Amino acid sequence: MGSAVRGISRPPVASDSLSAKTLLADSLKARTQSLHREAEQSGVIAGILRGTASRDSYVLFLRNLHPVYMALERALEAASARGRLFGLAQPAVYRTASLAQDLSNLWGATWQSALPVLPAAERYVRCIEGAALGDAARLYGHAYTRYLGDLNGGQVLRRLLARRFDFAPDCLNFYDFPEIDSLERFRITYRNAIDQAPLPPAGFRAAVEEGALAFALNIALSRAIDALEDAGQPAYDG
159-218 pLDDT, tens digit per residue, is 999 999 999 999 999 999 999 999 999 999 999 999 999 999 999 999 999 999 999 999
Higher pLDDT, 21 or 48: 48
Global pTM? Answer: 0.89
Q: Would you place residue 4 in the very low, low, confident or very high pLDDT band (cuts 50, 70, 90)?
A: very low
Which own/partner contact pairs does 152-158 have at CB distance under 8 Å and 24+ positions apart?
A: 152/187, 153/40, 155/183, 157/45, 157/48, 157/49
**Sign, CA torsion 12/16/19/24:** negative
**CA-based torsion, 100, 105, 110, 116: positive or negative:** negative
pLDDT for residue 141 is more than 50: yes
What was the pLDDT predicted at 235?
55
Identify the pLDDT of residue 86. 81
Q: What fold, for 36-230?
A: Heme Oxygenase; Chain A (1.20.910)
Residue 8: what pLDDT?
54
Q: Would you give the DSSP letter of residue 181?
A: S
Residue 165 CB contacts under 8 Å (≥ 6 apart), including other chains: 55, 58, 171
Please give the backbone phi and psi of residue 142, each rounded to the nearest 5 degrees, phi first: -70, -40
Q: Do the strands 4-5 and 8-9 form a parallel or antiparallel pair, or are they unpaired?
A: antiparallel
